[in-house]
Chains A and B, each alone.
Chain A
Amino acid sequence: MKGRVLQKSLFLCVLLLCCCLSVSFAQKQTVRLNYWTFMEVNKPYWEGRAEEYSKANPNVRIELSATNYPYEEMHEKLLMATVSGSGAPELCDVEIGKFGFFLRGEIPFYDLTDVVNKYKEKLLDIRLKAYEYKGKAYGFDYHIGAGLTYYNTDLFTKNGLRVDSIKTWDDFISAGKKITKDTNGDGKSDIWMTDVETNDLHIIKLLAMQRGGGVYNGKGEIILASQANIDAIKFLQDLVFKHQIARIAPGGQHFDASYFPWVNEGNIAAIVMPQWYMGVMMSNMPDLNGKVAVRPLPRVVPGGKRSGMSGGTATVITKSINPKHLDIAKDFLAFGKLTREAQILIWTRMGYDPYRMDVYDLPELKKPLPYFNNEPVAQMIKELWRSNDIPNDNMGPYYPEVLEQLRERIPYRAFQKREDPATILKDALKEVEEKIE
């Protein structure tokens, strides 16, 4: 008799426990989100933020399924998914050079203006404007993308030079003539001062912006064939053909599989790339740990700009999301990118230069980075911004078409075919204008 009472009591307790657990789970809303990106380092970042968001919000649990694709393939998949109306992820990174394509016709992304407005005052406007269309914000960036020079300190030391002696491009050329040399006696240089890409646009764009050129001016006009752009290409051609201190990057670009080991082996003294290349170096060039000094671009003229802006990635919410989850997704996006904490983590976890400038005064952004000569690189970026050394990368409706020219046609003709820069840019502009309606 007693045994039966005990059994029944135990059964009731277990039943009660199960009910309580199921009630508590039922109160926590699970939001499943698919996320696509093309930058390897972004995937673990968002996975981590999803867990942290779930902990910070007891009533919501975000289950994030993140996938990293190659750059072109990801954008093509997204385009096809949005056109066909199925298969698009709820959240997606869209690179600045591709964003404009999605703003033609029916925009497949949700308006995020309400989210942006909460944090706008603290953030750099230029990085928000890049993803606006007709007054509405459809995404927001990770970073500034300041143009920098990455110096191999070993090569400088071996040649009795100091990285900080380079203030102008003339200093750069003088140092280049000492560093560039033939080490194996075959009559061809093996160690180079720098390189140029024939399959990508960054060095051309950064040097052009430094001279007042770029893609669009502040009035919304395309300035592809401007004198500043012509001068930038001419200068780079001189580095390659006249001073012979620059070569074409192995593989034609700074992301090629053959490029990383070549740099890792110490064959190049200076790489000009945007700030977000720091993470790429750390992941792919382990032998350069502690031997890379990051500096602004050398000046063109005394008092001239020491940087530019290149690259950028917005994270968007596509219209494939369940509308019931939209507000949570917006909040999660802000949690990952716009809040003060997020802007700090964008630096500490992904190595991107944040565009909320007050975070640069915090201890996290004052820490020296062992890989980069044990120096507080973020402080240099802060100094560049405060001294107005980073020109704006202005947007316009045909930004993707111009970038396509800068990436695929212009550098090849400039550095492989050695054609006249004015002619190259004039032809490129003509091709862009043919697409303008």
Chain B
Amino acid sequence: MAKKSKITPYVFLLPFLLLFVIFRFWPLVSSFLLSLQKLKGIGAEEFIGLENYRNLFKDLRFTFTLQITSYFTGGSLILLAIIPLLLANVLFLNRARLRNVYRAVIFLPGLVSLVVVGTVFRLILADQNGLLNKALGLLGVQPIPWLMAAELTVPSLIIIALWRWTGMNIVYFTSGLSSISPEVYEAARIDGAAGFSLFRFITLPLMKPIIIFVVTIGIIGGYQVFVEPYVLYSAGRTPGDSGLTTVLYIYRLAFRNFDMGYASAVGIVLALIIFLVSIVQFQFTGFFRKRQ
């Protein structure tokens, strides 16, 4: 009977473990093994050890993609942390009328397929006859080459990210706000706090776990960005490779240049970078500090 009770938990865990091993662990191991090989062609692999990794650290294009990706991640994160937090605050705390309708409308972009988003934004941001330029033209602004100028590539991608993920982050922040007891605000008001000081001294500190969560998934999502540049710019061909994110680079290496071994090495290194950035972020925000 005792033996049975020792085995039982593992039996219940088995389905999850099997799925984890097959769909998560094995692909990771397989990818690492692939990163130690060079594929010369279909069915022509050669074991080369750590040569792909050595080449990676000399690869200026990889460094360039990291800069582009970091620019995108940093830019979108700042906006996707601040704007949804403020909007959530306005919608939730101030009991705005029709706030549920606003929430639903703002959340809708998150449900739209990225392929559709990219295709539609390509038409909106087109320099000739694009909707945005036509609207700006009414204000006397000359057409802006949103998709043709290298310096506007990442801002264009950030605009899409903002449009798409603001609603989702509002939902996260709203759930955080709803977990704060109204009595805390009541007590603060009695002590003379009002307006911005309520936000700064009550809302922000108590929202910290949610903010850390949103920032973390923002970092992971930002460094994994691929679909937006791929669909916004025909098959990811951005002007002068100004939107060549690291994952887009991996895709190009693997499926255009057929350099799957090297692409796997880039993927492994990217995963490590995301992990390290997340750890630094947790450390910086005191996530690992013991709560008193």
Contact = CB atoms under 8 A, between A and B. Distances in A.
Given A73-B235, A251-B147, A256-B234, A105 B127 contact: no
A76 B253 CA distance: 11
A413 B149 CA distance: 12
A72 B126 contact: no
Contacts of B239: 198-199, 252, 412, 416
B128 A250 contact: yes
Nearest to A407: B237
A76 B40 contact: no
Contacts of A248: 148
A199 to B, nearest CB: 5
B33 to A, nearest CB: 15
A408 B240 CA distance: 7
B43 interface: yes
In the complex, which range does the number of interface residues on chain B fall in? 20 to 34
A401 B234 CA distance: 19
A255 B237 CA distance: 13
A35 to B, nearest CB: 21
A104 B148 contact: no
Given A79-B255, A417-B240, A105 B123 contact: no
Contacts of A103: 41
A250 B235 contact: no
Contact of A258 (B44, B123, B142, B258): B123
Contact of B256 (A72, A104, A252, A258): A72
Interface residues of A, number: 43
A257 B42 contact: no
B237 A408 contact: yes
B256 A261 contact: no
B240 A104 contact: no
B41 A104 contact: yes
Contacts of B241: 408-409, 412
Contact of B128 (A199, A262, A407): A262
A105 B256 contact: no
B81 interface: no
Contacts of B234: 72, 199, 251, 253, 255-256
B44 A106 contact: yes
Given A105-B43, A262-B129, A71 B148 contact: no
A105 B40 contact: yes
Interface centre among B40, B234, B240, B258 (most CB of A within 10 A): B234
Given A106-B44, A252-B148, A413 B240 contact: yes
B148 A257 contact: no
Nearest to B251: A76
Interface string B141-157: 01000011110000000
Contact of B130 (A71, A73, A106, A258): A258
B164 interface: no
Interface SS of chain A: helix
Nearest to B44: A105
B122 A257 contact: yes
Interface string A402-426: 0010011100110011000000000
Contact of A198 (B126, B142, B148, B258): B148
B126 A257 contact: yes
B112 to A, nearest CB: 19
A198 B235 CA distance: 14
A80 interface: yes
A82 interface: yes
Contacts of B149: 416
B121 to A, nearest CB: 12
A82 B257 CA distance: 15
A54 B31 CA distance: 46
A104 B40 contact: yes
A107 B148 CA distance: 38
Given A258-B126, A262-B128, A104 B237 contact: no
A416 B82 CA distance: 35
A71 B41 contact: no
A97 to B, nearest CB: 10
B258 A104 contact: yes
A82 B126 CA distance: 36
Contacts of B40: 104-105, 437
A79 B150 contact: no
Contacts of B43: 105-106
Q: Which 9 A-B pairs have the closest CB atoms?
A: A105-B41, A104-B41, A105-B44, A72-B235, A106-B43, A258-B126, A250-B128, A105-B42, A76-B255
Given A107-B42, A416-B148, 12 more contacts: A72-B234, A73-B235, A103-B41, A105-B42, A199-B237, A251-B234, A255-B234, A256-B234, A257-B126, A258-B126, A258-B130, A409-B241
26 contacts: A101-B258, A103-B41, A104-B44, A105-B41, A105-B43, A106-B42, A186-B142, A198-B239, A199-B239, A248-B148, A250-B127, A251-B147, A251-B148, A252-B147, A252-B237, A257-B123, A258-B129, A259-B128, A262-B128, A404-B256, A407-B237, A408-B241, A412-B240, A416-B148, A416-B239, A416-B240
